[in-house]
Amino acid sequence: MSGILDFKSIIEDSRSLARDLMDGKAAEMTVEHHGEDVLDNRLYLGDNLDAMLHLLGDGMKGKIDLVYIDPPFFSGADYKRRITVGRGEERLVFYNHAYGDIWEEGISEYLRMISVRLFLMRDLLSDRGTIYVHVDGRTSHYLRLILDQVFGKERFLNEIIWSYKSGGAGRRSFSKKHDNILVYTKTKDYIFNPQREKSYNRGMKPYRFKNVAEYQDDIGWYTMVNMKDVWTLDMVGRTSSERVGYETQKPESLLERIVRASSDEGSIVADFFMGSGTTIKVARDLVRGWIGADSSIHSIVTCKRRIGPSEGLRLCHRLVPGDSRLDFKARASRKGEALELSIENMRLDSEAIGKDASDPDLAIRLLKERPQTYIDYLGLYGIKDNIETIGEWYGQDVELGFLIEDFPRKYDRIMIRMIDIFGNIAERELEV
């Protein structure tokens, strides 16, 4: 790439494309209603552009109070998901592709990708809505100019500096130990709930000012003040209990500050680059509605594992199950009030497993002796008017034969969905 970036062209082209997309036919997706539609929490599997068009076509324009996105950082890297399987000494490690951050046409391609999406996010935001765009020094200056055009420079609220200790040490520069989070509002009437933090006194000694409450902890004396725009929070380290295997996973403490500050209980919170699902988990824990989107089935599975059973979940996708690399057969029969289920002849591509494993011979042997080692997710659903989640199992806790007690008699059909650790999907529907 050479020359000066044509920001005017990027903005005009993106605005025009966003308008054409919104004027066109809404993205068609299969929508699975898991349980009663008391709530409208959604996970989208696929391109977030399709997810946003589907939301706009489904009456969600102006309904979202908070959007947080953690898009690619224009790093020029491919990111991996670390997967460990096996038991005891028989353990295997796979590094599975999570997402790519490589742009053949350079920064202009990257900015066009994100700009058209920002226009759609603006339309999804409510009049009290706020967007947080999480980037770093590689693109923060570009995104600031783009956001000024999409939302208006008068709607800039903050640039938050997230400071942390983790990461590499600089040898020919100062060590890069912070990210930039750009905050813009839809209008001047936005939700903001001030957050408080400790401010330690100079010398850690009491000031004894009149009408100023002071406190003491193991560090020293402090007062409570409104939170500043520099946040020092730990990253998700290798030993963290939050860690789920994503290289770019963000800590819950970071998202808690954002969700508390810029949404209320009952607000809808959205993350269109969902990744490990931290935003969704925090929104659920803080009694917000939530919408997540990601192109990776691993992201969906990881998020579902973190949030557990959720009432009113809609899973929106364009799944085409039946990949030849994953297959299985199943039998189901009623035993009184119970359902007996057996999964048989599970099949995976052994050549692919051996090539990507840390120990190819062990990988192939485990496939023969315990094929469920490679199951990432197994879901059992009852089919009636909606799809009701009856049971979900993750990882190596999966068994291939089990009994479901008190199986509802209203279901005469079930669906079994299996996803392996490599992202292959297979489904079977059975009469019971």
Q: Are residues 251 and 176 in the same domain?
A: yes
Final residue before a domain boundary, out of 260, 294, 317: 317
Which residue do the tokens 């929104």 mark? 283
Q: Are residues 51 and 175 in the same domain?
A: yes
Query: What is the domain range of residue 333?
Result: 326-431
Q: Are residues 275 and 345 in the same domain?
A: no
Q: Are residues 311 and 368 in the same domain?
A: no
Q: Are residues 408 and 259 in the same domain?
A: no
Q: Residue 220 falls within a domain, yes or no?
A: no
Please tell me the distance from the alpha carbon of residue 71 to that of residue 363, in angstroms, as a whole number. 34
Q: Are residues 358 and 386 in the same domain?
A: yes
Q: Residue 59 falls within a domain, yes or no?
A: yes
For residue 371, give the CATH number of its domain.
Answer: 2.60.40.730
pLDDT in tens, 331-378: 999 988 899 999 988 888 766 676 777 888 888 888 888 888 899 999
Looking at the 3D structure of the chain, how many domains does it have?
2
Q: In this predicted structure, what is the pLDDT of residue 2?
A: 45
Q: Are residues 297 and 426 in the same domain?
A: no
Q: Residue 210 falls within a domain, yes or no?
A: no
The crossing angle, in degrees rounded to 10, of helices 7-23 and 48-57 is 50
pLDDT in tens, 110-147: 899 999 999 999 999 999 999 999 999 989 999 999 99
Tokens of 344: 């048989």
Q: Are residues 26 and 121 in the same domain?
A: yes
Q: Residue 173 falls within a domain, yes or no?
A: yes
Q: Are residues 274 and 308 in the same domain?
A: yes
Q: Residue 198 falls within a domain, yes or no?
A: no
Q: Low-confidence residues of the chain, pLDDT below 50?
A: 1-2
Tokens of 339: 């359902």
For residue 41, give the CATH number of its domain.
Answer: 3.40.50.150
Q: Residue 25 falls within a domain, yes or no?
A: yes
Q: Residue 34 falls within a domain, yes or no?
A: yes
Q: Are residues 252 and 346 in the same domain?
A: no
Q: In this predicted structure, what is the pLDDT of residue 384?
A: 82
Q: In this predicted structure, what is the pLDDT of residue 287?
A: 95
Please tell me the distance from the alpha carbon of residue 193 to that of residue 76, in angstroms, as a whole number. 37
Q: Residue 289 falls within a domain, yes or no?
A: yes
Q: Are residues 305 and 362 in the same domain?
A: no
Final residue before a domain boundary, out of 284, 317, 350: 317
Final residue before a domain boundary, out of 317, 344, 367: 317
Contact at 8 Å (CB) between 332 and 341? yes
Among 259, 261, 313, 249, CA closest to 286: 259
Q: Are residues 236 and 332 in the same domain?
A: no
Q: In this predicted structure, what is the pLDDT of residue 101?
A: 66
Start-to-end CA distance of the chain, whole Å, equals 61
